[in-house]
Structure formats: structure tokens, C-alpha cells
Structure 1
Amino acid sequence: MVRLANFVTPTSGGLRTALDRLGCGYLEAGHEPVLVVPGDVASDHHTEQGRIVTLPGPVLPGTGGYRVLADRRRVRRLLDDLAPDRIEVSDRTTLRWTGEWARRARVPAVMVSHETADGVLRTWGVPPALAARAADRLNRRTAWAFARIVCTTEWAEREFVRIGARNVVRAPLGVDLERCRPGRRSTVLRARYADGERVVLLLCSRLSVEKRPGMALDALEELRGAGVAAALVVAGDGPLRGVLERRARERRLPVRFLGHVADREALADLQAAADVCLAPGPAETFGLSALEALACGTPVVVSASSALPEVVGTAGAAAADTPAAFATAVRGLLAAPEPERRRAARARAEGFSWDRSVAAFLRAHDALPAPGPRRSEETRR
């Protein structure tokens, strides 16, 4: 099962996590996953999620280090050499052509929709009507090129339903319920990040335009203006970091920028220590970091324009894309007793497991667990 993905770096968040956990699940189910991603140099090695092949790819300007598999001839040669039984693609733009390769090779191909096309276009300033028309054209080509389109939420599925696509299936992502747990909450860690304030807010996000990280700072300012003694911790990096740091200094806001937190255990400790997490991205189709926060017992305020209200349910709050609305939603969550809101968050997360997610993705591939030994001797080597 060859999986191709762009926009993945060592500091990537949700997409990188999903690729890793799905790869581990495919391997455990008896398949042989091969992940192909861009990098600065070529490499080929085996990991816990299967084989990973890195091909040199150029950096896209203004993306904070994202690379793409731009050499089609090299990717095509690799696909020919690998002779996959299935392919799974996680980029509907620059890698859409691989669906056509799969059709010619008679290989079932799945496209995973990790974002909505019109949502991304709108966050970059394209007028809604124009964004919808452009998205419809792109999605028609995508639906034609691939045997199936996998959407992680009903919200993400809507733009394909709108064009009448009949090959769309839904497969939610999951969360590590053992690593992310309420028992990680530390009053000592919380006090360190509170820095004397009463409320600790957390933003776990890539600091880029489509994620709207500035909304977290604006909401913090609204809260403090309303008399709520709150501080904000930002875990993540990206092209907007410098702009956000200057904004925080100029407005004298208590914001601590941690950069990319590579240690997943440390990140879970941070998510458990926060009082409320913020997820302001309006084009999110699932939101793994929000689900991780819920699993840690921390409620989340999400953009009402995204798919996250569908994910967090009543364990969080959906807010219009304004600082005042986000601040009001935070205050609403804090009004509930802490034990009650933390129990509700954990209970919601327990409905999402990676085992269920892997099974749903395998059904999309028509690839039930292979019979016989769970892993071949060659795969173990």
C-alpha cells in the first residue's frame, strides 16, 4: 500500500500524526505500507509505521518549510518500481495526477481529503462565490481521478456531495487515549504557565494564515479587557510567528511562544495543564490537536465555520470567527465546574480510537486484514 503525501515536515502536526498512526495500523493488519514524502535529500528506511521513502522536493515559498513532490517522472518511476496493490494520496492539488496513473495501472486509489478546497481558498482571501466555483472544478477532477474519496467528517464531505460525487466515504481519525489522558494534569506545570494569571489558554497550531492563529491573541485581549485574568501558551511554529510575537509585545499580552513541541509526552502534559484550548482555524476538517486536548480532559473552543463542532460536540464550544465570540465561548466553558467540564471532554474523546480509524480506512481501500502472520519476516527486517 503506497501512500503519497506533501506538506509534511519534521515539525508537522495533525497530518504527520495521522500518517504515522495509520501506517502503524496498516502494518499491524498485515499489509506493507510505503510512505513517500518530499525532503531535502533522498532516503529509504524502515520504521514502526513501515517503509518511508523520501524524494528531494523544493520548498514552497511562504509556507515555512513545506516541500512538495514536484518531479513527476521520478515519482512515476518509483510507483512503477513499487508496483502497489493500493495507493493512498494526501494532497489533492499537486498529487492529483497520481490518481490518473493508478487508473492506467488498474490500481485502486484513494484520496484523503485533509482540508476543504473552498475553505482554504477563503482563508487566503478568495471571495466565497469564486472559491466555491474553483473548488467545485477541482473536486470534480479529483472525484473522477480516484476510486474513492475519504473524508474524516460529514462537514468535509459536503463539498463533494455538492457536486454529486458518488465515491465518497467517511472515516474519522482517532486519538491516542493512553498518552492523552486527564491524569497528566499537573498543578505545578499549570502554575508555571499561568505566571500568576487565573486562566491558562492553549493554542496548539501551525502558525500560518489558514490556521488563523491571530484569533487566539485577539480573544485573549478581549478576555483581559473584560476582567478575566488569562494567559496564553502557543505551541507551534510557522511563517506568522514573528508577526504574532510582535503583536503580543505591542499589546503587552501575557503570551508564551514555545515553538514546535516535538516531545509528544510533553505536549500531552501541556494540553492537560491548560484550562481551555483554542482551535480558531475556519477550514479544519477534523482537528487532531483539539481531539487530543479533549482526551486530556481539556475543553476546546473551535471555529463554528470548521468541522470541529462536529468533533467536539457538547464537550466544547463553537464560536463565530470574531475575537468577542471566542472570548464569550471561553467564559461559557469556564462557568461550568472544572470536574464536570473535564469529564465531559474525556468522555467525548473516548468515542474516537485509532483502531476504529484504521478499520474505516481499510474498508475504504477494500483491504481487510491480510490472512496469516500479522507481519512478514521481510517487513520485520
Structure 2
Amino acid sequence: MKIVRLANFVTATSGGLRTALAELGAGYLAAGHEPFLIVPGSIASVRESESGPVITLPGRIVPGTGGYQVITARGAVRRVLEQIRPDRIEVSDRSTLRWTGRWARERGVGSVMVSHESLAALLPPLADPLNRATARAYDTVVCTTNWAAAEFRRIGAPNITHVPLGVDLDRFAPDHFDQATRDRLARPDQVLLVVCSRLSIEKRPHRAVDALAELRRRGVNAVLAVAGEGPLRARLERRAAGLPVRFLGHLTDRAGLAALLATADVALAPGPAETFGLAALEALASGTPVVADRRSALGEVIGPAGRCVFGHPGAYADAVQDLLGRDDRRDLARRRAERFSWAASVAGFLKVHST
């Protein structure tokens, strides 16, 4: 099959979506299919990648998002689609790209929308009508957790399916613990916390800083490493003044990220609207337990390998202390992550594309 995938809100510093697009594309290619990826950028270009051709079309920056872009020129997208003549399309943006569902239906092309965000959490008043429009536009809506599917099932959408994402269990593993990373970020007597997230309002990264402050108020000698960039960085740096917080920026080196996650004692995932939480799963694969927001989908992902709490600092501090008291926390984390593989995820997505 020729599978054209379209996505907005993808940049060089993107996190989970960028990883998912790369891993799924590579899986499609390895299975003998022809994957193409269309994303926004500064200029039009085409390049080859390990997950197939990547076609960049000029996009517009969305104000307040720290550089995220969207493709608004429908004509340019149509021309690329008509040139490729796909058998299937897979879309990862249910706002500005929803029109591609009608394009596909008019041409007898199978269509899939992948729900990477929760409109019920981000835009509650508009969620139901927008979700109805999405479900009508595409043959299938893929949700990566049952939590993410709930907003579609609530409106009675009949074409919803559940396919979890995966994690690279070789790249992210406990044996990537790195003493040099540990020495750089924390003393031997300190607890090393990590948050790996885009620094934007929907991710609530300030909760990690507040949790650190509460732990230190209780006498826990903890430090925090923040891996990620975004529009809230300056505000977070001001909030963290006087606390042992290291802002590492976006880590382009995946080996460095794997070392950080395997070296930390506990990872924090405070975003309340996460529909899967790939960074949290990468922490689990690295043997690091996770404290997440109870309102997100992460409870499905982390299971007994972490704790889910409501967003106040005391709850996060309680959960961190509870996990630190468990001698089996690293084994539990790794075993939980082993339930999720990219091979299974690719197989699940290809099954949807084959129906």
C-alpha cells in the first residue's frame, strides 16, 4: 500500500508525535509498504528518511506555541496527494487537515484519523461537535488509549479503534544508566527527578517545579532536571529561582535522553490532557517509575509502575516518596514497558489500514 501520512504541529523539537511518526513509518516500510509523510516547514522540500520520503510544505506559525506550524494551503496538499495517488491516508491533525477525509472518500481512498490530543480536555465546549465531524469524515479513528477513545464513544461514534503506541526497548533500557550524567546533575546523596516535556501550558510543567519545592520543604534532598523547550521556559526559570533545577533544553541526542531517563530516580509527567504519554513510557522502559496526573490517560500506560495523583504539590511529593521507598520500583517499571512495543503498534495500525 501507498500510505500517505499528514501531520501538523511537528518541529525539530517535537516530542511524542515526531517519534510516533518516525517509528510507524519505519515499520510500514519494513513491512513492504510505501509510506510518505507530509509536514509543515519554512520552505517546500523533499527528503528521504528511514521512514520513507518526508515532504515539507510551507506552513504558518501558530502564535503562542513556540514555533509550531500548520499547513494552510489546501491546494498544495491536494497536488501532492494527487501526484502520489495513495491507497490510504493517515492524518494526525483533526483541525486544519480534517478536510482530507472528504478528499479521500470522494476518490475511494481509505482514511484514518489518529487522535493524538483530547479535545474534551483542551476545548470542552467544542469537543462533541468537533469529534462528531472527525468521526464522520474518516473511515476509522484510531485512539492510542481507551481514555482517548472515551470522548468519541460518549457521542456514539461507531468507527473507533484502540491501538497503543510503543517504545524502543533497546534504546531505552536500565543499562543506559550513566554515572557521568548522574555526577553532572546530582550529588550521591540527592534524589534526581526528571521531567521530559514540551514547556507549554497544556503540559503543566510548573507542577514539577512545585513538587520539587514541596519535597525540599519536607527535607528530601531532591533536584530536578527539565528536558524540553517551549514558550513557558522563561516563566519556569523564574518560578524555579532558588531551587536546584537544571534546564537542559531539547535533547536532540536520543542516546543522551536515554541516559538521562535511566539515571533519574523518578520521572514526573504532570500534563492532565495526555492521551498516551510516550515520554513516560520511555522512562518506564529505562527502569524509572513515573508520577503522572490522574486526569490523563497515563494510568493505563504506567499501571502499577508508578502513581497517578491530582495536581497539587503535596500529592506529587507523597507519590515520589512512596516510590522511593519501593526496592522493586525499577523492575516494575521495566516490566510494565515491555508490554508495549513498536512492532505491535505497527501491526495494529496496518491491520486498520488493511480493513
The answer to whether residue 153 in structure 2 is matched with residue 161 in structure 1 is yes
Choose from 341, 348, 351 the match for 2:339. 351
Question: Could you say what secondary structure the match of 1:33 adopts?
Answer: strand
Please name the residue that 2:245 is paired with. 255
The CA deviation string for residues 7-54 of structure 1, in whole angstroms up to 9 with x for no partner, is 000111100000000000000111100000000011012111001100
Please name the residue that 2:290 is paired with. 300
Please name the residue that 2:63 is paired with. 61
Please name the residue that 1:370 is paired with. none
Q: Is the 8 A contact 1:140 1:163 kept in 2?
A: yes
Choose from 181, 186, 191 the match for 2:173. 181
Please name the residue that 1:374 is paired with. none
The answer to whether residue 26 in structure 2 is matched with residue 24 in structure 1 is yes
Choose from 127, 138, 144 the match for 1:146. 138
* Count of aligned pairs between the two proteins: 353
Question: Could you say what secondary structure the match of 2:5 adopts?
Answer: strand
The whole-number CA distance in structure 2 between the counterparts of 1:198 and 1:231 is 7
Instruction: Please tell me the root mean square deviation across aligned C-alpha atoms, in Å.
Output: 1.0
Please name the residue that 2:218 is paired with. 226
The whole-number CA distance in structure 1 between the counterparts of 2:259 and 2:330 is 15
Choose from 299, 317, 340 the match for 2:307. 317
**TM-score, structure 2 as length reference:** 0.98
Please name the residue that 2:108 is paired with. 106
Q: Is the 8 A contact 1:174 1:356 kept in 2?
A: yes
Amino acid at match of 1:210: E
Please name the residue that 1:127 is paired with. none
Please name the residue that 1:335 is paired with. 325
Identity across the alignment (%): 60
List structure 1 runs of 4+ shifted beyond 3 angstroms: none
The whole-number CA distance in structure 2 between the counterparts of 1:244 and 1:259 is 12
Unaligned runs of 5+ in 1: 122-130, 368-381
The whole-number CA distance in structure 1 between the counterparts of 2:180 and 2:229 is 25
The CA deviation string for residues 198-255 of structure 1, in whole angstroms up to 9 with x for no partner, is 2000000000011000000011111111111100000000000010011111xx1100
Choose from 236, 240, 248 the match for 1:244. 236
Amino acid at match of 1:335: G
The whole-number CA distance in structure 2 between the counterparts of 1:197 and 1:43 is 50
What is the CA distance between 1:189 and its match in structure 2? Answer: 2.1
- Greater shift after overlay, 105-114 or 76-85? 76-85
The whole-number CA distance in structure 2 between the counterparts of 1:229 and 1:187 is 19
Please name the residue that 1:90 is paired with. 92
What is the CA distance between 1:195 and its match in structure 2? Answer: 4.1
Q: Is the 8 A contact 1:197 1:231 kept in 2?
A: no
Amino acid at match of 2:172: C
- Greater shift after overlay, 191-200 or 91-100? 191-200
The whole-number CA distance in structure 1 between the counterparts of 2:118 and 2:258 is 28
Amino acid at match of 1:353: S
